[in-house]
Structure 1
Amino acid sequence: MSPERILDTAAGLFAQHGVNAVSMGEVARAAGCSRATLYRYFSDRHELHLAFVHREARRIGALLAGETDLADAVLAAVGHVRARPELLAWFGAADAGTTAELAQSSEVVGALGLGAAGDPDAARWLVRVIVSLLIVPGRDGAEERRMVERFVAPAIGRRR
């Protein structure tokens, strides 16, 4: 049993039940491992959540690496999350608080924001913008693009 397989199993459970509704025992059962094995890799649910969010932020960050326009990068990040139920689950009403807390960890900020923003404060703010768009979406994609181009891109500047 690998930590990646456990995270993959947790992803399916998050999509089905919501993030905070999934217990460590449920993850262990679904992954086909003992709770002792699960706790060997993740000391508690918070650590499991953190590992999952970091892994997915790195994946999305890698997908965004080729984006040269800040607005395109922000909207692509939002689109990648919306396309995957196991990621979108993190932005529902019951799980948004957990997501907001984890979104400001250094690995998430580094994977999603720092490359686009150029400095740590701007990166943290950029990740907050992405989380905000996912928790409280615009009326449609055109409105979200207008808002990002009008307010976010000028505040942070173009990608370097």
Structure 2
Amino acid sequence: MSGDWLATDRADLAAERILDAAAELFAEHGVTAVGMADIAKAAGCSRATLYRYFDNRHAVRIAFVHRETRRIVARLDDQVRDIPDPAERIIAAMLGAIGEVRANPLLIAWFRPGDSGTAGRISQDSDVIESLAAAIFADTESSAPERTRLARWLTRIIVSLLAAPGRDEADERAMLEDFVAPIITRTTPARAVD
């Protein structure tokens, strides 16, 4: 039994190493320019080994985006969990996500002019990103499909601001307060104060 556990642990480590190597390449060369041979070379493995973990470069991209999304959501949840106003909580989460991506060269590379389309497509076609974003609306009266649709819309706004930033953070906050907050307020009941 312990042999299986070690094999799984090694496989997880190998996949992480591959994703780390891919991230460096994405930042250096752009997401769309990186192929499987490039990733295998950077990870120090054969292409056959790479294909054991990932079927194709789209699978590598999705695995990387999912890993980073989980990390960001975990950090943001800690930061915004106790904000009682639903609209302010969502705005803080959105600005926090934008700030996290912009601060990380491995992530902001996905939003360069030639690469932002890839990020946009993955964000809209990803069940993982959709479910993580929808979790933000767990305390709403909206139905699950409405929460999912709202989560996809908010993710589009984040991707849009990353690809085409506002003048500054104050400008982006004002846009979110003027155009997103009214929607959130309309769909989210106020939390009861304990």
TM-score of the alignment, normalized to the shorter chain, above 0.5: yes
Cα deviation, residue 115, structure 1 = 2.4
- Give, as a single letter, the amino acid of the residue that structure 1 aligns with 2:67: R
Residue of structure 2 aligned with 1:129, choices 154, 157, 165: 157
CA offsets 1:69-100 (integer angstroms, 9 cap, x no match): 11111000000000011110111111111111
Query: Counterpart in 1 of 2:5?
Result: none
Instruction: Give the residue type in structure 2 aligned to 1:110.
Output: S
**1:35-74 matched pairs, under 5 angstroms:** 35-66=47-78, 67=80, 68=83, 69-74=89-94
Unaligned runs of 5+ in 2: 1-12, 84-88, 139-146
d(CA) in 2 for partners of 1:11 and 1:139? Answer: 28
Which of 117, 122, 128 is 1:107 aligned to?
A: 128
Unaligned runs of 5+ in 1: none
Judge conservation of contact 1:117–1:126 (CA < 8 Å) in 2.
no
CA distance in 1, matches of 2:16, 2:104: 17
Runs of 4 or more, structure 1, over 6 Å off, are none
Distance between the aligned counterparts of 2:16 and 2:97, measured in 1?
22
CA distance in structure 2 between the partners assigned to 1:128 and 1:82 by the alignment: 16
**Inter-partner Cα distance in structure 1 for 2:120 and 2:71:** 19
Structure 1 residues 1-160: aligned runs within 5 Å:
2-66=14-78, 67=80, 68=83, 69-104=89-124, 105-111=126-132, 113-118=133-138, 119-157=147-185
1:150: Cα distance to partner?
Answer: 1.2
Which amino acid is the alignment partner of residue 76 of structure 1? G
* Root-mean-square deviation (Å): 1.5
SS in 1 for 2:21: helix
CA contact (8 A) 1:71 1:153 kept: yes
Separation of aligned partners in 2, 1:117 and 1:89: 29
Contact 1:117 1:156 in 2 (8 A): no
Determine the C-alpha separation between the residues in 2 that align with 1:57 and 1:45.
Answer: 18
Give the TM-score of the pair, scaled to structure 1: 0.94
Give 1:109 shift: 1.8
Distance 1:3 1:134 in 2: 27
Number of positions where the alignment pairs a residue of Structure 1 with one of Structure 2: 159
Structure 1: distance between partners of 2:184 and 2:137: 6
Aligned residues with identical type, % of pairs? 53
